Amino acid sequence: MDWLFDIAFIRDHILSILIFLPLVGAVVLLFIKNNTTVKWVTLGVMLLDFLLSIPLLLNFDKATHEFQFVEGPVDWIGSLNIQYYLGVDGISVLFVFLTALIGWICVLASWKSVVKKVKGFMMCLLIMQTAMIGVFCSLDFVLFYLFWEAMLIPMYLLVGVWGGPRRVYAAIKFFLYTLAGSILMLIGIIALYYAADGTFSIPDLMEHKYTFVFQAVVFAAFFIAFAIKVPMFPFHTWLPDAHVEAPTAGSIILAGVLLKMGTYGLLRFSMPMFPDAAQYFAVPIIILSIVGIIYGALLALAQEDIKKLIAYSSVSHMGFITFALFLFNKNGMEGGILQMFNHGITSGALFLCVGIIYERTHSRQISDYGWIIRLVPAYALFLFFFSLASLGFPGTNGFIGELLILFGAYESWGYYLIPLLVGVILGAAYMLIFYKRVGFGNADSHHEQPEPKWKIWDLDLREYVALSTLMIFVFWVGFQPMHFLDIMHVSVEHLIGQITGVAESVESITIAAN
């Protein structure tokens, strides 16, 4: 794909292209009547977007923490000093890639399951894609906020129009929660604008120093916005509802990308701009994270609905991530960011798995299954590996993230291992129990296992492609995590420097010690 970068226009405007290509696709869809063509066009646009994100990753300079592939700043609304300003660093580039990857998987996941208003659905997916990539690339706060809010409408529609029976309730709950957070963030952005002498440029705002009180107040406003998005305990209650009611693609986007927005916001804005406040609030946030880890895991343990189980497991896993990020050491931070990527892959894959079987049975009750291994062995194998990845089995991506987080936790305070390992073991418990129940069933004899009430068939080519792609990343990160960690190394070091004010001491045992 590298030859694409030989074309100067593409090289210079790669981020804009990645962002607006899907939007252009959505406009093109307006003129297409045939549903099949709509699907193929959407798939083509998403695949092109994904292919373009590969040279972005390959040409990314790992040696600097500076923003790269920068476009702008171009004056947009000159009187308010609002600019069109894009760029990625070692943290955001991974999520641009993740979003581009998840995009076309979502199209595949909806290929057969969406039957009504196909065109509208695909347009929502494409607009979503534009907004999501835009969020990760924006270097101007207003631009960022624009993309951030732009995600809300298509997501609301995805859940509200194509969702399950309680879709309206779930969609409005999702909308209100997120909007409440966004408004707080908007106030924070305006406050920043005035505090920093009238600029919305994110790199400039990072350079500026703020008083501690200002930091604390604005940090709190931002934090609530991001904590709702993550979602952190106690702001998580919208998540299970949204997940359960959302169509498969909606769940995949939600788990795969949207949840990462919250932690990304913490990394991009809260930490470097308000370092003193971040350190001041670190312990309470860590405590909330631990509560989230355990609480989410316990709830996951009690679920009968597969989607709810994975939704609560997300609460637990995101708890690990926020925990790790607020340790402010290299292992923890890198583990947290890697785990964000991993969680995107794994939980996206799990929701895809649920969607695949739901297409056949229209049931999400665990007790309706129990014949998976016997009747759909290929599907069972994929589900098995994704479950293992989710519980952090060695050799999978989840293990590496977990290990780095544990390293970071130990480095920070040895006793942190205790709550984390309780979370780890609960994670293993609910995933293994879940797999045992859907895989083997619960009957007392193998002669009495429940038979499915529906016509069941194993994976088709479309599903193989989607699942195998995600599977590659499970083992790629699991065995060669350095490929991904190397990208973020320098940026993470820089970020830690911004927070603690000093560069990490060389002597401390860090993962980069070689």
Binding site for another protein (CB under 8 A): 388, 392-395, 400, 403-404, 406-407, 410-411, 414, 417, 421-422, 424-425, 428-429, 432, 440, 443-446, 449, 479-482, 485, 509, 511-514
Q: Which two tokens stand for residue 311?
A: 């939704």
Q: Smallest distance from the beta carbon of 433 to another protein, in angstroms?
A: 9
Half-sphere exposure of residue 20: CA atoms within 13 angstroms, side-chain side: 8
Is residue 201 within 8 Å of 85, Cβ to Cβ? yes
Nearer to another protein, 142 or 496 (CB): 496
Q: Nearer Cβ to another protein, position 7 or 63?
A: 63
CB of 406 to another protein, least distance (A): 5
Place of tokens 């990845």: 389
Please report how close the Cβ of residue 319 comes to another protein at its closest, in angstroms: 17
Closest CA to 97 of 1, 225, 201: 1
- By C-beta, is 153 or 375 nearer to another protein? 375
Indicate the DSSP class of residue 63: T
Question: Can you give the length of the chain in residues?
Answer: 514
| Pairwise CA distance, residues 485 & 505, whole Å | 19
Buried b (16+ CB within 10 A) or exposed e, 145-169: bebbbbbeebbbbbbbbbbeeebee
Nearest distance, CB of residue 18 and another protein, angstroms:
30
Contact indicator for 97, 56 with CB cutoff of 8 Å: yes
Q: How far apart are CA 147 and CA 132, in angstroms?
A: 7
Q: Which is nearer to another protein, 180 or 428 (CB)?
A: 428
Supply the minimum distance, in Å, between the C-beta of residue 351 and another protein.
Answer: 23
Which CB atom, from 126 or from 340, has the smaller least distance to another protein?
A: 340
The least CB distance from residue 436 to another protein, in Å, is 8
**Cβ proximity to another protein, 299 vs 406, nearer residue:** 406
Taking alpha carbons only, the member of 143, 129, 401 closest to residue 257 is 129
Comparison of 506 and 513: residue with beta carbon closer to another protein: 513
CB 193 within 8 A of CB 225: no
- How many angstroms separate the CA atoms of 56 and 332, rounded? 26
Beta bridge partners of 82: 77
Token pair 């952005």 is found at 189
Nearest approach in angstroms of CB 332 to another protein is 12
Residue whose CB is less far from another protein, 298 or 512: 512
Q: Is 204 exposed, middle or buried (0-12, 13-18, 19+ CB in 10 A)?
A: middle
Counting other chains too, the contacts that 236-239 makes at CB distance below 8 Å and 24 or more residues apart are: 236/292, 236/296, 236/315, 237/173, 237/177, 238/170, 238/173, 238/174, 238/177, 238/178, 239/311, 239/314, 239/315
- Measured from the CB atom, the residue of 163 and 419 that comes closer to another protein is 419
Burial class (CB in 10 A: 0-12, 13-18, 19+), 217: middle
DSSP 396: S
C-alpha–C-alpha distance, residues 177 and 5, integer Å: 41
SS3 state of residue 277: helix
Nearer to another protein, 282 or 512 (CB): 512
Give the nearer residue to another protein in terms of CB position, either 45 or 404: 404
The SS3 call for residue 86 is: strand
